[in-house]
Structure formats: structure tokens, C-alpha cells
């Protein structure tokens, strides 16, 4: 599985994309258009949301099934996948099928194909997008989601962007300001959620760049 990180810290009409991760499973046929991704978004009311996307090209039409999760709901999605993974290890010889309901018509369905591969399918408004993942790829996907939830991946990536002058055309000062601004946003949210782990991690990082 190819895993790529990206950051877009600019305002749209109603929201600001802070950080995203794109996943391209090995068995994906069209690796230029088909992918799964997760994006962390800050809205104008200063709340944080996660957008989970499943995108695929079908007969020259790109289907993009996307779902918006609150932080609590995103954690529930991670727990759902983690429980499925445990079942795969315990009952790999059985057909396992689990559903994560977004609302009445929309859901994410995960099912076992055999003891090595699973199918993850996003259903939205009667349109479906699915990917075949190996057990190892599913585990990598889950671990990446956990890192995004705990803010660890964001800090790692921003630190890389901040210290690599060849990554983009931002000046060092602009990158420093972007890095500091994003950390403060995430620290405020960690306080609101009373997330001690994320708050401690992010505060240490902010302190290190301000001293």
C-alpha cells in the first residue's frame, strides 16, 4: 500500500483543510484516480472534523463517496476496524462481514474474502466504492488512522515540512508561521476534548519551536 501525506492550510468558503493522508492499496487498478483518504478539517466555528473518502473511477465516471465524522465518531470508526481485525485473527476461516453505519442509507462495510484479504466498501446514496486490502494493508490503514487521531502523524509531517526547504515554495518564515498556527489550533482542540495525550504531545512540540 502506498501512503502519502499532504497539507493544505488555506481557507475555503466554510472550512480549512489542515492535514490529509492518501492510501492506494496494491490491488488498485487505476492508481492515478482510485484511493482512500482521510482529511482533518477545521471549520469556521473552530471545530475539528475528519473527512473519510473512498474514490474510484468507474466507466470514466469518478465516484467519490465521502463521509464527515466528528472526533468521537472518527474514534468509533477506528474501533470498528480494530475489532474487525481482531476477528480476522481469531476466526480467519469464517466469512466475516461487519457494517459501520453513517446514517440510514450510508455505511462502510468490511468483509473477509479469505485469511489474507478483505474487502472494504463505502456505500452512499446507492453508489458503492470498494477496495481489496491485504491483512497487512488493513493494519497499516488502522495504525495510520490512530496516528491521525492522536495527532502524532500531523506533528511528524509538519516538522518535516518545516525543516525541508525543497518541499515547497514557502519561505522559512511562512513555514514556521504555518507550523506554529496549526499546532495552536490542534492544542486548542485537544483542550476542548480533554485529550491529555494529544495536548502533551503538541504542547511539547510548540515549546520546542518557540524556545
| Beta strand 97-101 pairing with 61-69 | unpaired
Residues 58 and 43 sit within 8 Å (Cβ to Cβ): no
Cβ(140)–Cβ(1) under 8 Å?
yes
Q: What is the mean pLDDT of the chain?
A: 80
Rounded to two decimals, the pTM is 0.73
Residue 88 in grid coordinates: 480476522
Phi, psi of 84 (to 5 degrees): -65, -40
pLDDT in tens, 14-45: 556 667 888 999 998 888 889 999 988 876 66
Question: Which of 18-22, 69-73, 96-100, 173-177 is predicted most confidently?
Answer: 96-100
Q: Residue 8's pLDDT band (boundaries 50, 70, 90)?
A: low
Question: 2-162 maps to which CATH number?
Answer: 3.30.2450
pLDDT digits (tens, 9 = 90+) for 162-199: 555 444 434 556 556 666 777 777 787 778 778 787 78
pLDDT over 90 at 84, yes or no: yes
pLDDT at 154: 57
Rounded CA separation 75/72 (Å):
5
Closest by Cα among 146, 211, 208, 147 to 183: 208
Q: Please name the residue ranges forming H helices in the chain.
A: 71-90, 135-149, 152-163, 172-193, 196-210
Domain ranges of the chain: 2-162, 172-210
Amino acid at each position: 500500500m502506498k501512503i502519502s501525506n499532504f497539507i493544505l492550510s488555506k481557507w475555503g468558503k466554510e472550512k480549512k483543510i489542515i492535514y490529509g493522508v492518501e492510501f492506494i492499496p496494491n490491488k488498485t487498478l487505476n492508481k492515478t484516480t482510485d484511493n482512500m483518504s482521510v482529511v482533518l478539517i477545521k471549520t469556521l466555528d473552530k471545530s475539528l472534523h475528519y473527512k473519510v473518502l473512498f474514490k474510484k473511477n468507474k466507466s470514466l465516471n469518478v465516484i467519490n463517496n465521502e463521509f464527515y465524522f466528528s472526533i468521537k465518531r472518527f474514534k468509533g470508526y477506528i474501533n470498528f476496524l480494530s475489532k474487525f481485525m481482531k476477528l480476522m485473527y481469531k476466526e480467519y476461516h469464517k466469512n466475516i462481514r461487519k457494517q459501520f453505519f453513517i446514517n440510514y442509507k450510508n455505511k462502510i462495510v468490511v468483509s473477509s474474502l479469505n485469511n489474507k484479504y478483505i474487502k472494504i466498501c463505502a456505500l452512499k446514496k446507492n453508489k458503492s466504492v470498494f477496495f481489496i486490502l491485504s491483512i497487512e494493508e488493513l493494519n497499516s490503514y488502522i495504525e495510520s488512522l490512530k496516528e491521525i487521531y492522536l495527532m502524532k502523524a500531523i506533528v511528524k509531517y509538519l516538522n518535516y515540512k518545516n525543516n525541508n526547504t525543497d518541499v515547497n515554495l514557502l519561505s522559512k518564515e511562512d513555514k514556521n508561521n504555518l507550523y506554529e498556527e496549526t499546532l495552536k489550533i490542534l492544542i486548542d482542540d485537544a483542550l476542548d476534548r480533554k485529550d491529555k495525550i494529544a495536548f502533551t504531545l503538541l504542547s511539547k512540540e510548540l515549546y520546542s519551536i518557540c524556545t
